[in-house]
A = this chain, B = another copy of it.
Amino acid sequence: MDAFPKSLLDGYRSFMSGRYVEERARYRTLAEEGQKPQTLVIACCDSRAAPEMIFNARPGELFVVRNVANMVPPYEPDGQYHGTSAALEFAVEGLKVKNIVVLGHGRCGGIHAALAPDAEPLTPGDFIGKWTTLLKPAAEQINANSAMTAGERQTALERISIRNSLANLRSFPNVATAEKQGKLKLCGAWFDISSGELWVMDNKSGDFIRPE
């Protein structure tokens, strides 16, 4: 137990004497009745982009998958382990969420890696290299554009990755069906770490727009 990070224990004590006090009854109810989140958020692991903070969410509101670059692999019923697909299945069929939000963000390290396909693998397993091949065709198109700056290429691929995840979500037959039946809405959003701005995707055009 000595190994447990002191900063996390300190944080836990703050939680218990602060936020938990307000939410005590809610936690109790959520434990007894089970969770009923309305929304699945697919977000990035980045330490600066926690969905609960950005959406000021209370316990029980958001079912959250977090992986590098908020990606959804395409539907592959091949009997392999698919962590994101498993969470998606659980959220849509088990919890009957009403919304799926893919949340991307600026300065994403995973997107940065996708734009540097010739970088040295971080380990011999090259898990990041393989994972970011989900964005390979889009990254190649972006990299072919010599007139865009490095920053513009990064932002463009961050937004493409969100649309890519949404397209892959729709490759799951149950997701596509639920959306067609009006039982499920799919949305995208992009968070600017530097300014705190949230940009919401317009479902028709795919453009990102600041709300209100």
A residues at B contact (CB < 8 Å): 1-5, 7-9, 11-12, 14-16, 18-20, 24, 27-28, 30-32, 34-35, 37-39, 45-48, 50, 52-57, 59-68, 71, 73, 75, 77, 79-91, 93-95, 98-99, 101, 106-107, 109-110, 113, 122-128, 130-132, 134, 137-138, 141-142, 144-152, 156, 159-160, 163-164, 172-174, 185-187, 189, 193-196, 198, 200-203, 205-207, 209-212
| A4-B85 CB under 8 A given contacts A48-B31, A91-B45, A125-B75 | no
| A159-B163 CB under 8 A given contacts A35-B47, A45-B64, A185-B5 | no
What are the residues of chain B within 8 A of A87 when measuring CB–CB? 45, 66-68
Grouping DSSP codes into helix (H, G, I), strand (E, B) and loop, the A interface class, with mixed when no group exceeds half, is mixed
- Interchain CA distance A201-B12 in the complex, whole Å: 15
B35 and A48 contact, CB distance less than 8 A: yes
- Identical chains in the assembly: 4
What are the residues of chain B within 8 A of A195 when measuring CB–CB? 27, 210
Closest beta carbon of chain B to A153's beta carbon, Å: 10
> Residue A77 contacts which of B11, B109, B124, B189 (CB distance < 8 angstroms)?
B124
A194 and B32 contact, CB distance less than 8 A: yes
Chain B: CB-nearest residue to A10: B56
List the 10 shortest-distance A-B pairs measured between CB atoms, nearest first: A31-B194, A86-B131, A77-B125, A93-B122, A151-B207, A11-B55, A11-B56, A37-B47, A86-B127, A67-B83
